[in-house]
Amino acid sequence: MKEKELRRSMAVFTIGTVMKLTNLTARQIRYYEEQQIVQPQRTETNRRMYSLSDVDRLLEIKDYLSEGLNIPAIRRIYDEEKQKTAKFPEEKEHHLTDEDVRRILYKEILDASGFNSLDKNTWKR
């Protein structure tokens, strides 16, 4: 299943088609890149090229944002995912268990909403 990963990783979409696929504006797509949460490739002429994975990521970012997460929080999530990938190169699929994601998201949502007065042990687990 390495062939599939390769295809999902190949940058074949222009920002124009990504806009249609994600319903995001070019401004937003470029901004997210600025914030380091998506890293499209560039052509020799400096045009951004996105892969299927990038599109999925953009769609995912849209969800996180609507769930109340801010850019820094989202960046941290992908950074942690990258750290685990580096730690377990073999396990290509489940880098983060559903529980890991829930725990992280719940914490981030509280951070983003400035509701940090609660005891961390209250929603631990």
Least Å from the CB of residue 35 to DNA? 10
Rule CB under 7 A: is residue 28 a binding residue for DNA? Answer: yes
Spatial separation of the C-alpha atoms in residues 107 and 37, rounded to whole Å: 19
Q: Say which residue the tokens 């950074």 belong to.
A: 79
Q: Which is nearer to DNA, 30 or 95 (CB)?
A: 30
Query: Which of 6, 7, 8, 26 is close enough to bind DNA by CB under 7 A?
Result: 26
Asked if residue 21 lies in contact with residue 60, where contact means CB atoms within 8 angstroms, the answer is no
Spatial separation of the C-alpha atoms in residues 3 and 23, rounded to whole Å: 28
Rule CB under 7 A: is residue 85 a binding residue for DNA? Answer: no
> Which residues contact DNA (rule: CB under 7 A)?
14-17, 24-28, 30-31, 45-48, 65
